[in-house]
Amino acid sequence: ETGVTQTPRHLVMGMTNKKSLKCEQHLGHNAMYWYKQSAKKPLELMFVYSLEERVENNSVPSRFSPECPNSSHLFLHLHTLQPEDSALYLCASSQPGGRSGNEQFFGPGTRLTVL
Amino acid sequence: GDSVTQMEGPVTLSEEAFLTINCTYTATGYPSLFWYVQYPGEGLQLLLKATKADDKGSNKGFEATYRKETTSFHLEKGSVQVSDSAVYFCALSDGGSNYKLTFGKGTLLTVNP
């Protein structure tokens, strides 16, 4: 595997379910990100992890719970979601402080539908 | 704070037409500038970048020049193809905050045969 991978690619869940999204990066980066992309809205940064520590949390509801067990893996745990949480969830990674100016590499996303 | 403004879409062109998507920015310091592309059903891919003033980024026939005097980074392509149909995002990274990319709202491009 190369680059940034995300599983599952598609997820349908009820409002009472608990599920997790997984992201893995094979680039040796030390920062990872979760974004939410909703129809007709700008890309929203949700969480940032650097060296497995959360460095940014942009007022995301507590029904979204991130976990970064190591610099290659990032999870987004979901519980009691609402239909308005249906969106494409994108994971990205980068190597901040390098000469590339924080170029981020994105995974293909998980298309989440909450019924 | 930092911001990116790009032209509203959608943009519809015929194959082989010339493309310009405007992007202007506000930022403190000396940001790096990016264009990302998102094809249907996929994540974002870096298309090109420029890290300092007057740099020209280029890839797959697309070009953009970092213009500090006009705070712009317009995307151009001389002859678009149907396969260029996608959403294009302009973004900046403020050197002072190494984690964050600030994105524009995206411009949907549709190229018809």
Q: Which residue has the tokens 């973004």?
A: B91
pLDDT tens digits for range B68-81: 999 999 999 999 99
- Token pair of A104 as six digits: 């981020």
Please state, in angstroms and rounded to a whole number, the distance separating the CA atoms of residues B17 and B4: 26
Q: Which residue has the tokens 């001389």?
A: B78
Look up residue B66 and give its DSSP letter: -
Q: Which amino acid is at A13?
A: M
pLDDT given for residue B95 in this prediction: 65
pLDDT given for residue B9 in this prediction: 86
Radius of gyration of chain A (CA): 14
Beta bridge partners of A94: A31
Q: In this predicted structure, which of A52-66, A77-91, A92-106 has the lowest mean pLDDT? A: A92-106
Spatial neighbors of A82 by CB under 8 A, at least 6 apart, are A15, A63, A114
Rounded alpha-carbon distances, angstroms, from residue B46 to A52, B39, B43, B57, B82 = 24, 12, 10, 11, 19
Asked if A101 lies within 8 A of B49 by C-beta distance, the reply is yes
Query: Across the A/B interface, how many CB contacts are shorter than 8 Å?
Result: 60
Angle at B95 between CA B94 and CA B97, to 5 degrees: 70
pLDDT given for residue B8 in this prediction: 83
**Is the Cβ of A48 closer than 8 Å to some Cβ of chain B?**
yes
Question: Which residues in chain A are closer than 8 Å to B36, comparing Cβ atoms?
Answer: 106
pLDDT given for residue A2 in this prediction: 74
Beta bridge partners of A57: A47
**Is the Cβ of A10 closer than 8 Å to some Cβ of chain B?**
no
Residues B32/B25, Cβ–Cβ less than 8 Å:
no
- Return the percentage of chain A with pLDDT > 70, whole number: 95
Please state, in angstroms and rounded to a whole number, the distance separating the CA atoms of residues B32 and A99: 10
Asked if A100 lies within 8 A of B32 by C-beta distance, the reply is yes
* Mean pLDDT to the nearest integer, B44-61: 95
Please state, in angstroms and rounded to a whole number, the distance separating the CA atoms of residues B63 and B3: 21
pLDDT tens digits for range B85-100: 999 999 998 765 567 8
pLDDT given for residue A96 in this prediction: 75
pLDDT tens digits for range B4-50: 999 888 999 999 999 999 999 999 878 999 999 999 888 999 999 99
Please state, in angstroms and rounded to a whole number, the distance separating the CA atoms of residues A19 and A86: 13
**Is the Cβ of A43 closer than 8 Å to some Cβ of chain B?**
yes
SS3 A83: helix
pLDDT at A29 over 80: yes
Taking the CA atoms of B104, B36, A56 and A74 in sequence, report the sign of the dihedral they define: positive
A2 vs A25, more confident: A25
